[in-house]
Structure 1
Amino acid sequence: MLENTFTIVALIAASAFFSIAEISLAASRRLRLRQLADEGDARADRVLRVQEQPGDYFTVVQVGLNAVAILGGIIGESALSPHFAALFGLWMSAEQAQTAGFVASFFVITSLFILFADLFPKRLAMTDPERLALRVATPMGWCITALQPLVWLYSRTADALFHLLGLPTRRDDRVTSDDVLAMMEAGARAGVLPEREQQVITNVFELDTRMVGSAMSQRERIAFFLRDDPDDVIRVRIAAEPFSTYPVCEGDIDHVVGYVDAKDLFQRILNNQPISLQDDSLVRKVLIAPDRLTLSEVLEQFRQVHEDFAVIVNEYSRVVGVVTLNDVMSTVMGDLVGPDDEEQIVRRDENSWLIDGMTPISDVLHALALDALPHEAEYETLAGFLMVMLRRVPRRTDSVVWGGYKFEVLDVDRYRIDQVMVSRLPQGADTGAVPTAA
């Protein structure tokens, strides 16, 4: 009895070892293993190599688990059945006691293996996979060497099946932006990463998909000078519309010839020098960029020409806006760093928002916790959304219902939508796309 008990305990321990080896390798994070390897841990390098080609490793695990399970069943049944049969024989017939003893021994052995050889070690391996993977790496290497013939046979057979079915035999370990964002979200939920920092990282990844129109100052908000503007007009314009940079145009805004930096203008004013935009030393060469660029592409153009200001034009060479490096960085930093002007999205209460019509649609989605709006490819701003949904230029009191929200136009200035009231609808209200005309 004592010998059988010791054997069962040894088999459970062996099964637990293989369970830990299996789960710890699968759950180990490559970034953490790479960090340990860079710190000089040779075992981490070994585990990384095994993760790249895990076939032999998992073959040994499965051989071990199945062999131990079979041996455990055989030894456990022969070790415990007679004792349970003798116990049940006190109030059952011999045949019934034999059957009950077999069932009881099967239940006990199976329960011991499930609890101590499967559930407990696997949950333990999930909690600290990298540390346990390093600890079992060396003994698993011994097992692979000892069982090399079986490993070769089963591994090659499995590889043949993979090739026959056209399945990949190596794990794809490429880290995508979605993987990074998921890690950031998990870190924010765990309290490791502050929510604002998570949003900054998310904004950085959105630079590749966010169009320049979402960050630029629109055409009607551009303060510019004409090349032949006299000194007094320039001084009045600077006082009325203080900006860091002004486009310089020939005739009208669609013929931009350069830009002038406010610092250069202030220097001349402080030195009591006249200001003339005919002076080529004052007017700098301007970067002209198409409106179909993403913010990431705009940053790359800024880097190439060593500028931080660009005029944005459409396919008809019509100026549609201007963008600065500060505009792009404000998009990245969100509410950590932003312009001094009025916020585009103002939350009035728990269920309503006052939003500028030129607000980028990505900011609207974030504020309202929406995944998407219909026909998103056709517009970039909240005003564009309303135009697409209404199929015309909106008027005051026009509204659209979508996704549990009502978007109502409050103010229109010369066909430009200034303000939109967004209200959360009560539970159970119709949430489909419902345009309502004034």
Structure 2
Amino acid sequence: MVLALLLQVVLIFLNAIFASAEIAVISANQTKMEKLAEDGNKRAKRICRLTKNSSKFLSTIQVAITLASLLGSAFAADSFSEPLAALIVGKDSSYFTVTSTICMIAITLILSYFSIVFGELIPKRIAMRNPEKLSLFLSGILTFVSYAFAPFVWLLTVSANGILRMFGIKPEDTSEDVSEEEIMLMAEAGSEKGSIDAKENEFIQKVFEFKENDVGDVCTHRKDVDFLFDRDDQEVWENTIKQSNHTYYPVCGKDIDDVIGVLNTKIYFRLDDKSKENVKQQAIMPPVFISETMPADDLFYRMKNTREYFAVVLDEYGGINGIITLHDLLELLVGDLQEKGEDPDYEITRIDDDTWEVTGLAPFDEVIEKMDIRLPEDELEKDDYETFGGYVCEMLGAVPDDGSTAECENDYVKVQVLLVNEHRIEKMRITKKPKPVEEEQKEENADEDKDKKFRLFKKEKPAEDDSSTDEKE
């Protein structure tokens, strides 16, 4: 009886060893392990060898855990049920068989409790807190077990692969790639829970949205570009450069659509002779033309490789759409990069809780975010406008005449146009309307669905999620 109890303790201990080893190796920082291995740590080298074929390692551990559990249950049922039944009713009793069966069930349940608590839960919690240390400590045992169980694991793997092929499933199709949507979802959920900083989440979202932008969507429109014309004299060029203070200027021939070069002011200001002819020879470089449909990420890598940080954007008819610089592309990733002393091109001024004064060039997304306006998804996904002035023009159905005022409204905002200049809305007053009760209910339901979706996603990899949480503790 004592030997049987001792055997159960040993089997539960082995179960605990293998369960903790599984979590420790999975949760260990792979980069740290590789660094230790490069520095000559033999234990780290063993762990790296095991994790190179993670499926084989996990199969080996699972076989060891299963064997320990099965042996424990078998020995317990055989060793304890009959002696316990004899103690309760006597071996010669007519109820001995029934009592023995009941004792077997009770012993199995009790053993399962101790196996789960001491053989699974506690070891895994310990492993989550110190994955690297425990992995290194158990590296020798794990290496021995991987060699000892290799034939059995091979047999099980071949059997499982054969059955999968019978059902038309390729065993090799075991890709566990995480999609962009899943990463963005995890980052957003982490931001909401406080484990990821809001700015970090915003940067992650912008990285994945970067390639979705075309150059034509983010370039500086021709209306806002300061051009130099070949027909103008040196004094006009100097005044334009001093007043606008840009790094690059498109130089045009007969009209705006005829760009013949790009003036680099870094070279221009170093010239002693700023005569027009000398400037054209020394400071003007050939223009780089790109299509407005070119993806922003393609242009980013092209600029990085060619070191040409200024490009002229052409529309489908070969006319000038605008210009784009590396600075513009970086702003897509990190937000507005306003230089010291530079005034913003737009203003968003709060009047009261629901009323704001906004200039026409204010970005659409920034206005609705600051005012906390919850527009429908179809409104947010439109590509017809980038500024709030463009959004108002769409609401009006036309561009207001210069010097005129106008009013428009929808279910979400009321807009009063205060100033129009050069066919562009310069200033407007926006009043946010209270949200309808039905809209608030829809938002609550959408948030609940989002939380459910995230919880379902996290259930797919519980060990990794728990480990990351405990590591932070």
Global fold match (TM > 0.5): yes
Which one is further off, 140-149 or 153-162?
140-149
| Residue 393 of structure 1: aligned partner | 398
For these two proteins, the number of residue pairs brought into alignment is: 425
Amino acid at match of 2:326: L
Of residues 236, 239, 250, the one that matches 1:247 is 250
Per-residue CA deviations over 1:272-301 (Å, capped at 9, x if unaligned) read 865569944443322222212233333334
CA spacing shift, 1:209–1:44, aligned 2, 3 Å: farther
Residue 73 of structure 2: aligned partner: 73
Structure-2 separation of matches of 1:232 and 1:336: 31
Residue in 1 aligned with 2:232?
A: 229
Q: Does 1:207 align with 2:210?
A: yes
Q: Report the Cα offset of residue 112 of structure 1.
A: 0.5
Q: Per-residue deviation at 1:124?
A: 3.1
Distance 1:15 1:297, change over 3 A: same
Structure 1 residues 200 and 69: alpha-carbon distance in aligned structure 2, compared to 1, 3 A threshold: closer
Superposed displacement of residue 125, structure 1: 3.2
Alignment of 1:314-393 (within 5 A): 314-335=315-336, 338=339, 340-342=342-344, 344=346, 346=348, 348=350, 373-374=377-378, 376=381, 378-379=383-384, 381-382=386-387, 386=391, 392-393=397-398
SS at the partner of 1:159?
Answer: helix
Aligned mates of 2:331, 2:189 — CA distance in 1: 25
Q: Which amino acid aligns with 2:112?
A: T
The residue correspondences of 1:15-54 to structure 2 (distance < 5 A) are 15-28=15-28, 30-54=30-54
2:14 and 2:436 map into 1 onto residues whose CA distance is 56
Hey, what's the Cα distance between the residues in 2 that align with 1:39 and 1:185?
37
Q: Any conservation in 1 of the 2:363–2:388 contact (CA below 8 Å)?
A: no
* Alpha-carbon distance between aligned partners in 2 of 1:85 and 1:329, rounded to the nearest angstrom: 77
Match of 1:398, SS?
strand
- Structure 2, unmatched stretches of 5+, are 401-405, 443-473
Query: Is structure 2 residue 154 aligned with structure 1 residue 146?
Result: no
- The answer to whether residue 285 in structure 2 is matched with residue 284 in structure 1 is yes
Query: CA separation in 2, counterparts of 1:33 and 1:176?
Result: 26
Unaligned residue ranges in structure 1 (runs of 5+): 433-438
Quickly say closer, same or farther: Cα 1:372–1:74, change in 2 above 3 A.
same
Aligned residue type for 1:228: R
TM score, norm. by length of structure 2 = 0.71
Alignment counterpart, residue 126 of structure 2, candidates 124, 127, 145: 124
Is the Cα–Cα contact under 8 Å of residues 212 and 293 in structure 1 kept in the other structure? yes
CA contact (8 A) 2:396 2:408 kept: no
d(CA) in 2 for partners of 1:407, 1:297: 40
Alpha carbons of structure 1 residues 78 and 297: separation in structure 2 relative to 1, 3 Å: closer
1:298-309 alignment runs, 5 A limit: 298-309=299-310
Q: How does 1:407-426 map to 2 (within 5 A)?
A: 408=415, 410=417, 413-418=421-426, 421=430, 423=432, 425-426=434-435
Distance in 1 of aligned mates of 2:312 and 2:121: 63
CA deviation vs aligned residue, 1:380-424 (integer Å, no higher than 9, x gap): 6245973897594366433455xxx64847465454355674848
Normalising by structure 1, report the TM-score. Answer: 0.76
Deviation at 1:116, TM superposition (A): 0.9
- 1:114 is aligned, of 94, 109, 116, to 116
Shift in Å, 1:314? 0.8
Shift of 1:111: 0.9
The structure in which a higher percent of residues are helix is 2
CA displacement at 1:171 relative to structure 2: 5.1
